[in-house]
Homo-oligomer: A and B are copies of this chain.
Amino acid sequence: MARWTPGARERLQQAALDLFATHGYDKVTVAEIAEAAGVTERTFFRHFDVKREVLFIGQDEFAGAFLTPIGDLPDEQTDPGTIVLAALAGACDFFPDDRRPFSRARDAIIDAEPALQERELLKLAGLTDSLTRAMSVRGIDPQRARLAAETATVAFRTTFATWIADGENRSFRAVLDSVLADLTVLADGMAAHPPIS
């Protein structure tokens, strides 16, 4: 029972989510998570520094899903729209359909705990900063880079919220396309007005 098995990390995450959902995040101990996953506490701590990390591990892969496709673009590519679209398309690969039940359960637990919400907000703020930097190093001016990064983060958050909604069964990509279509309509609606000043 104590030996390391492939997939222990995923089993620990799943066991933790089930326990958090049943008993509440605060009430569940690492010992209980390890027991439910059929491993020792030592194995738990081989994968996660603290209990909370069972919900936040994989943050580098998450950021990488956005940033790797930007790195793959030619250096001459300096159109913010093209760059953030590449990042968003990459993010889709991180959310295949079979990840949806996990994402849904994770979100419900985070939603119930202000401290976890803050952690999640920081994670997304970090993503926005990374996207801004990835554009700045291409020479895009700071205002445009930040606006594009923030808008991409908003598109991601909105897509994610719809994708995990009850009864939603479209793919992440299909939802993202509908969000981007809404964004175009929104921007056109705003552009149709005379300047504010």
Contacts and interface: CB of A to CB of B under 8 A. Distances in A.
A73 to B, nearest CB: 13
Given A173-B196, A196-B177, A197-B176, A186 B147 contact: yes
Interface residues of A, number: 49
Given A144-B182, A196-B173, A187 B187 contact: yes
Contacts of A155: 147
> In the complex this chain forms, how many copies of it are found?
2
Interface string A61-80: 00000000000000000011
Interface of A: 79-82, 84-85, 88-89, 92, 118, 121, 125, 143-144, 146-148, 150-151, 154-155, 157-158, 161-162, 171, 173-174, 176-193, 195-197
Considering the complex of A and B, which 8 residue pairs feature the smallest CB-CB distances, nearest first? A81-B189, A187-B187, A173-B197, A184-B191, A150-B154, A81-B190, A177-B195, A147-B158
